[in-house]
A and B are shown apart, each in its own frame.
Chain A
Amino acid sequence: MRRLFGPLLILSVILFAAAPVLIAQAPYEQTMGLIQKIFYFHVPAAMMMMLSSFICGIWSAIFLLRKKPEADRIAVAGGEMVVVFGLIVLVTGPLWARIAWGVWWVWDVRLTSALLLWMIFCGYLLVRKYGGPGADKLGAAMAIFGMANVPFVYISVDIWRTMHPKTTVVTTLGEGMAIPFWFCVFAFLVMYALLFTARVHLEEQRARVEQLFLEAGDL
């Protein structure tokens, strides 16, 4: 797994360096103008947050059902990355909203549910760190609950009246905007793969240290 770090890091740097060039060449959105270009980083970050929620939730369920410690290690890595990408979404969103809506934040269903999702996974990490014995199982249950929240966050804009753009925005993008957008999604995916492999590797090394401590204690 460690062999992947170098190529993924180089590819990430290249993609993230090229992304602003493509974004700058993309056409301006009619009503929002320049600020709409936050879209190219905001939406892929939200996609990674949702992907990570699913990774954390699914591996937590596997851990609960099959009691596999490897599954728990993947879930912890996924849970931490929900918080990182969620933070990016929750910071870039208000910066966009300040110009587009005139306010930093509204208690809109999409914004509130995304904030709740982020807070559930912040809670997950706190439980894992300070929960003591049994925190792994309690955390896993929280992660499944967090994952169940994701479809609600996604479809909220299509069900309720909201200021946030609907999910159809992505599928109806013109070619000028679609190319830089999917390029950014790919760049975020590569970055996600890099961070995820590094984070899982860290959990594996921690498990090895714990194992050696236990073996030393038995001697």
Chain B
Amino acid sequence: MVPVLTRVIRRSWRWSAAAAGGLLLTAASVLAQPPAGAAPDGFVPISQLPPAHRMPAAPLLIAAYAFVWVALLVYLWTIWRRLGRVEGELKQLEKQ
């Protein structure tokens, strides 16, 4: 009874997390839109924008590069972790 309950809780938690992730992704892209009417009539080069409207580029550039590094390292680490687990199982099965 308890393992079944644990499995059901785990599964529903995963589905809820996936649904929440999907909702967040959709909401983020909708919220990222500029408010209606705020769009300029034509293209305005960054150099001609008033200083108050300019955003410093360096933090976003650093964030982008840091994200790439972290994403690749985390992915490599997850492969290594999964591989370790599978190889552990393999050794156990080969012993049996």
Contact = CB atoms under 8 A, between A and B. Distances in A.
Chains A and B bind each other? yes
A195 B74 CA distance: 11
Interface in B60-81: 60-61, 63-65, 67-69, 71-72, 75-76, 79-80
A38 B79 CA distance: 27
Interface string A11-46: 000001000100000000001111101100110010
B60 A95 contact: yes
A117 to B, nearest CB: 15
A144 to B, nearest CB: 24
Interface range on chain A (Cβ under 8 Å from partner): 35 or more
B41 interface: no
Given A20-B65, A38-B64, A105-B33, A31 B71 contact: no
A194 B76 contact: yes
Contact of A201 (B71, B72, B75, B83): B83
Given A88-B71, A100-B46, A103-B32, A205 B61 contact: no
Contact of A104 (B32, B93, B96): B32
Contacts of B82: 202
B68 A41 contact: yes
A208 B94 CA distance: 10
B55 A198 contact: no
B64 A205 contact: no
A98 B32 CA distance: 10
Interface of A: 16, 20, 31-35, 37-38, 41-42, 45, 84, 87-88, 91-92, 94-96, 98-100, 102-106, 115, 126, 191, 194-195, 198-199, 201-202, 205-206, 208-209, 212-213, 216
28 contacts: A31-B46, A34-B58, A38-B60, A38-B61, A41-B68, A88-B71, A91-B67, A91-B71, A92-B67, A99-B55, A99-B57, A100-B46, A103-B33, A105-B29, A105-B33, A195-B72, A195-B75, A202-B82, A202-B86, A205-B90, A206-B86, A208-B90, A209-B86, A209-B89, A209-B90, A212-B93, A212-B94, A216-B96
